[in-house]
Amino acid sequence: MFAIIDCNQFYVSCERVFNPKLENKPVLILSNNDGCVIASSPEAKQLGVKMGAPVFKIRELISKYHMEVYSSNYALYGDMSKRVMDTLRSFSPDIEVYSIDEAFLNVSGLDRQYGSWERLGHQLRTKVRQWTGVPTRVGIAPTKTLTKIGIHLAKKNGESVCVLKDENSIKKALKSIPVEDIWGIGRQYAAFLYQSGIKNAYHFSQAEENWVKQHMSVVGLRLHHELRGLSCLPLETISEHANKKMIGSSRSFIKPICHLVELKEALATYCTRVGEKLRKQQSCANYVTVYIRTNRFKDVDHQYANAQTIQLPVATDNTPELIHYAFQALDIIYREGYRYKKAGVLVGGLVPAYTCQQNLFDNENRQKHIKSMQAMDIINAKMGRFVVRSAAMGYRNSGETIRGKVSNKYTSDWEEIIEVGA
DNA sequence: TCTGGGGTCCTAGGACCC
DNA sequence: TCTGGGGTCCTAGGACCC
């Protein structure tokens, strides 16, 4: 048996833990640059705020109902997430941290320990709430996909725990879930399924296996099995997927960028972040991809988007080297005369740093580079991000982002710790 | 005026090997 | 007239997730 624990409007809940005035009020959390809504309280949803809504389109709504609006505070959310996960670990060490706000747990046998699956579900919620302040929903079922169905059902019925264990309860649940709400069915597949007369999860579970495989590959087939109670998606515990297979950094610009130099400065900044992430997980990259694009929402602008991948001669985690090749890639795809809105850097082909294959004709002094990167990471960790930086990043600050109102780093910075007083 | 950022997995097809 | 069979590796592109 699996359980999924899903935090309710996680970012909003994190803010509410440290600012109880926000309880029962419409609260919005915004994306980078305060561009769009990425989390909202039920009160805000009820007033018509949709997930992903651009802020400028709902300004009236915000002021009319005096909504509380916050920029995202990932230092806080990340730390709160860790607390939630630690709490869950006290129930079972068999945990898959699936995202910042949800986790799967292997709960086999725990029904006896807690009396019933329902009681286990409520215990999970209660403890997380008590230890972290974050409200959650719990789904318990024989497969991961069915636990997700359970969460949907709970949301729909305004409940907090949903157990799907016998054929009847599963069948009933599947009938009430439209195909597009199945975990793993996105827009494309949903449209295709509707065309084929399959409207809800139950219809899908009754479809012919070969037909599913033919049109939706093994991914679809696994979902099909999972909905029928046959577990195909194992718990992926931390150790198995601790290391990322691809690492990236990208930003949308506040104002469009029209000059190559400015794009280069932005890319140098992204390469710096990517380099830091690489060294943190002790990986080296074999290729680097750069992409740039204009504002796709602006019809009047001429549109251009392109990407270029460069194979590196030797796998590296060295920031200046990443920057060097990123610039090469940019030179290939850059076109003058466009207003660029977004750029990004991706690295892939990651290998463990200690197994990096050397190149016979490589004349870089790699040991020296490794030491200089180590020194840079240590200084920046102590003195602040980007205190030591590549000149290529420039000092133009075109990489700056807008953050209107952001709460304190209550849990990760002594300067910003919450004060309790008169 | 103003629309986020960061990931995973699978498949088909090309290039290559014996 | 007739030209095999079995395999690996890599990449681009498509689908999906939070």
- For the CA of A4 and the C1' of B10, the distance in angstroms is 25
Please name the amino acid found at residue A79: D
A309 backbone dihedrals φ, ψ, rounded to 5°: -110, 135
Which DSSP string corresponds to A123-169? HHHHHHHHHH---EEEEEESSHHHHHHHHHHHHHHT-SEEE--SHHH
Could you tell me the two tokens for A33?
A: 């640059």
- Give CA torsion, residues A4, A9, A11, A17, to 10 deg: -90
Distances (CA, A) of A321 to A312, A317, A318: 9, 8, 5
User: A291 CB contacts (<8 Å, ≥6 apart)?
Assistant: A250, A305, A306, A307, A308, A333, A343, A344, A346
Tell me the mean pLDDT in the region A362-369: 74
Residue A360 is predicted with a pLDDT of 61
- For the CA of A362 and the C1' of B5, the distance in angstroms is 35
Q: Which long-range contacts (CB under 8 A, 24 or more apart) does A303-309 make?
A: A304/A335, A304/A338, A306/A333, A306/A335, A307/A333, A308/A332, A308/A333
pLDDT by residue (tens digit) across A162-215?
999 999 999 999 999 999 999 999 999 999 999 999 999 999 999 999 999 999
Nearest CA to A70 out of A117, A107, A21 is that of: A21
Judged by average pLDDT, the poorest of A307-321, A356-370, A406-420 is: A356-370
Q: Is the pLDDT of residue A386 over 90?
A: no
Strand C: protein residues, Cβ closer than 7 A: A 98-102, 148, 182-190, 287, 309, 311, 349
- For the CA of A321 and the C1' of C17, the distance in angstroms is 32
pLDDT by residue (tens digit) across A208-266?
999 999 999 999 999 999 999 999 999 988 665 578 989 999 999 999 999 999 999 99
- Is residue A139 within 8 Å of residue A183, measured between CB atoms? no
User: A84 CB contacts (<8 Å, ≥6 apart)?
Assistant: A5, A7, A101, A103, A128, A132, A134, A136
Place of tokens 């899908």: A204
A192 nearest nucleotide via C1' and CA: C15
Residue A237 is predicted with a pLDDT of 84
Nucleotides in chain C near protein beta carbons (<7 Å): 11-12, 14-18
CA A336 to chain centre: 33
Average pLDDT, chain A: 92
A270 nearest nucleotide via C1' and CA: B5
Beta-bridge partners for A117: none
Please name the amino acid found at residue A161: V
Rounded Cα gap, residues A208 and A309, in angstroms: 41
Q: Is the pLDDT of residue A401 over 90?
A: no
pLDDT band for position A357 (cuts 50, 70, 90): low
- For the CA of A317 and the C1' of C8, the distance in angstroms is 28
Tell me the mean pLDDT in the region A22-51: 95
Distances (CA, A) of A26 to A18, A66, A110, A195: 16, 8, 37, 38
Is A197 exposed, middle or buried (CB count within 10 Å of its CB: 0-12, 13-18, 19+)? exposed
Nearest CA to A1 out of A105, A86, A98 is that of: A105
pLDDT by residue (tens digit) across A124-155?
999 999 999 999 999 999 999 999 999 999 99
Distances (CA, A) of A78 to A209, A235, A421: 41, 22, 27
pLDDT band for position A346 (cuts 50, 70, 90): very high
Could you tell me the two tokens for A240?
A: 């198995």
pLDDT band for position A422 (cuts 50, 70, 90): low
Tell me the mean pLDDT in the region A69-87: 96
Nucleotides in chain B near protein beta carbons (<7 Å): 1-11
Residue A32 is predicted with a pLDDT of 92
In terms of DSSP H, where are the helices of A339-396? Answer: 366-383
Judged by average pLDDT, the poorest of A14-18, A69-73, A229-233, A393-397 is: A393-397
- For the CA of A34 and the C1' of B3, the distance in angstroms is 10
Q: Is the pLDDT of residue A367 over 90?
A: no
Percentage of chain A exceeding pLDDT 70: 95
pLDDT band for position A352 (cuts 50, 70, 90): confident
